[in-house]
Amino acid sequence: MTVEFRVLGPLEVRHAGSPIVVPAGKARVLLATLLLRAGEVVTSDELVERLWDGGAPDPARARATLQMTVTRLRRALGPANVVRTVTGGYLADVPADGLDLRRFRSLADAGRHAEALALWRGAPLSDVRSDALHRLEVVPLEEERLGVLARRLDADLAAGKAHELVTELRSLVRAHPLRERFRAQLMLALYRADRQAEALAAYRAAREVLAAELGVEPGPALRELHGHILVADPDLARARSVVPHLLPPRSPHFVGRDAALADLSACAEAGPGVVVIDGMAGIGKTALAVHWANLAAEAFPDGRLHVDLRGFAPTGEPVPPGEVIRGFLDAFEVPPARVPASFEARVALYRRLVGGRRLLVVLDNAGDADQVRPLLPDGGFVVVTSRNRLTGLVAGGARRITLEPLDDAGSRALLDRRLGPDRLAEHAAAIDSLVRLCAGLPLALAVVATRAAVNPHFTLADIADQLETEHDPLEHLDSGEEDARVCRVFWSSYRRLGPAAARLFRLLGRHPVPTVSVPAAAAVAGLPVPDAAAAIAELTEAHLWSEDAPGRYSTHSLLRGYAAELSATEGDDTDRAAARALTWYALTASNAARWLLDGAGPPLPPPDRVRPAEFASAEEASAWLDAEWDDFVRLVRAGATG
């Protein structure tokens, strides 16, 4: 590499292999601060805080001095200068492989803990004088190193290196007497080295230190380990090499999704992390996750776990995380006697067991983020599927892949895979109709193909005509299995909605306009706009509606038909909803016309529960008419023919 920066020890800069001297004092503090947050903007106020260790006596002079320090640093770095001025502050624009801290994190994420730790040359930035920098930036970095070190020790213990680890662990316990994880590792190493008495003595020492320093007893994981050592548990005495493989087989009918498969592979190659695959019911989330997991299985030699969390099962309750963890522990052949009774202790045992492993975990059909969080291992790669967007996980760093309906080519490929090219060739026109009626929903296409396969006397034209002419085509999208009926799958999402969102979903199913804005939806339901916005947000979170363009929402054609059937069953007053919608469009159009026609006509008084949109300019009014006029006409025509 041409430029190399090192912060995992004394501050060093190299260019083309030769060292570059960074001036002492504030220039070193400035560079160290920027490197620890490489690629991020560090505000001028934060830099002043670091350079003056808590605050400059004269803020105005401090800004000027900061600028002078930046100039001095850039001059000293010369060809290695990476300091960039941005709005509000500065950043270090360091090449991807040009910073030892980045390489450390990349190696650790990939499970290469020993290589990551080898990059440390001593205390980070030991030659940079700044109490604020060390307190706020370096201390958390040391914590990060200790976490990677603990994962390396777990991996070494699992590999049967107990004898070699005892001396290192004794030293770590002396240096970090309150860290129970190191004490547990020392106890386990001693026990596996046939030194049971010393392992029990190590527990007594831990208990005495914790009582003296903190006034507390050891935690549940340490107490549990002590209990197993006390009774000389034979399963604890040896490193286990169980490699669970819980993945279901991939479907022979899987087609397409090349971009999503590539995204999953790219995420996995980047190291441990979480990917959320979300999308509407029946869109093929599970099929994608299972297909990719089987393809990628060899990249996870320490195990492949899978569980159906049943977050949206038509019957029964979601699987509790504690029950899932018990199943995972069984997969690793943990003896029942070693499985703790409490949920917290189970989570601790699970994470200790899988820590540092190159493990794949597929959490299928998750209901919400709370069901998932306890199941996330310390390291490993996790794929979560859900009909909800699981925003909490994404906000915490998970990557999201949202599945859309198959295109026409993908739909035909799925039918071809299930029925064979000969049968498709016999009914080309019917295939076009089936592709259109199923609207790219893999579940619907699979049900159609299943009906055709189990009823060979049905032609594809017969099935297409039935779906085309029946009042309720969803009733014919039924494979005979309760969990695979399209309407039943839709219902399992619908039943989780709150009352306002459920009512809006039903009413919009009868609304003849294909896309709606939040104010238009509010008019349909007779709701205040904020309440309608909350209901729309709930529908989009559940993938029952989607935001196709900023502020414009629509739903899948089969979901629209399902919502319309629900509305009829529930007895919603759709006539009043249509009247409110038409009134809202008419009044809003009138408000727009007053801007564009030089104030023609007085504003019309809004009826109860309908609040038309207002405009602040002719441009806003014109934009609304451009966006909504076709829908207004469609609504008028629907009213005239209704």
Query: For residues 540 and 546, is the Cβ–Cβ distance under 8 A?
Result: yes
Query: What is the maximal distance between C-alpha atoms in the chain?
Result: 96
Full DSSP string of 42-76? EEHHHHHHHHTTS--S-HHHHHHHHHHHHHHHHHH
- Distance between CA atoms of 173 and 379, rounded to whole angstroms? 23
Architecture of the domain spanning 160-230: Alpha Horseshoe (1.25)
- Residue of 642 and 246 predicted with greater confidence: 246
Average pLDDT, the chain: 83
Architecture of the domain spanning 3-139: Orthogonal Bundle (1.10)
Average pLDDT over residues 599-620: 68
- Distance between CA atoms of 26 and 242, rounded to whole angstroms? 54
- Distance between CA atoms of 399 and 563, rounded to whole angstroms? 31
- Distance between CA atoms of 347 and 354, rounded to whole angstroms? 11
Question: How sure is the predictor about 360, in pLDDT bands with cuts at 50, 70 and 90?
Answer: very high
Which pLDDT value is given to residue 174? Answer: 94
| pLDDT tens, position by position, 612-625 | 777 778 888 888 78
Question: How sure is the predictor about 604, in pLDDT bands with cuts at 50, 70 and 90?
Answer: low
Question: How sure is the predictor about 6, in pLDDT bands with cuts at 50, 70 and 90?
Answer: very high
| pLDDT tens, position by position, 478-524 | 544 544 456 677 777 777 788 888 888 888 888 888 788 888 888 88
Which pLDDT value is given to residue 475? Answer: 56
| pLDDT tens, position by position, 259-280 | 999 999 999 888 888 999 998 8
| CATH, range 258-315+357-402 | 3.40.50.300
Q: What percent of the chain has pLDDT over 90?
A: 22
CA angle (434 as vertex; 546, 512 as ends), nearest 5: 45
Which pLDDT value is given to residue 196? Answer: 92
- Residue of 7 and 594 predicted with greater confidence: 7
Question: How sure is the predictor about 606, in pLDDT bands with cuts at 50, 70 and 90?
Answer: low
How many Cβ atoms sit within 10 Å of the Cβ of residue 390?
25
Among residues 429, 415, 439, 433, which one has the least CA distance to residue 562? 439
Supply 42's token pair. 């560090």
Query: For residues 535 and 525, is the Cβ–Cβ distance under 8 A?
Result: yes
Q: What H or E segment, with its residue span, contains residue 266?
A: helix 258-269
Q: Which pTM does this prediction carry?
A: 0.59
> Which of 97-101's residues contact partners 24+ apart within 8 Å by CB, and which partners?
97/1, 98/1, 98/2, 98/3, 98/4, 98/5, 99/4, 99/5, 99/6, 99/7, 99/35, 99/38, 100/4, 100/5, 100/6, 100/7, 100/8, 101/7, 101/8, 101/35, 101/36, 101/38, 101/141
Query: For residues 542 and 496, is the Cβ–Cβ distance under 8 A?
Result: yes
Which pLDDT value is given to residue 482? Answer: 46
Q: At what angle do helices 460-469 and 442-454 cross, to 10 degrees?
A: 130
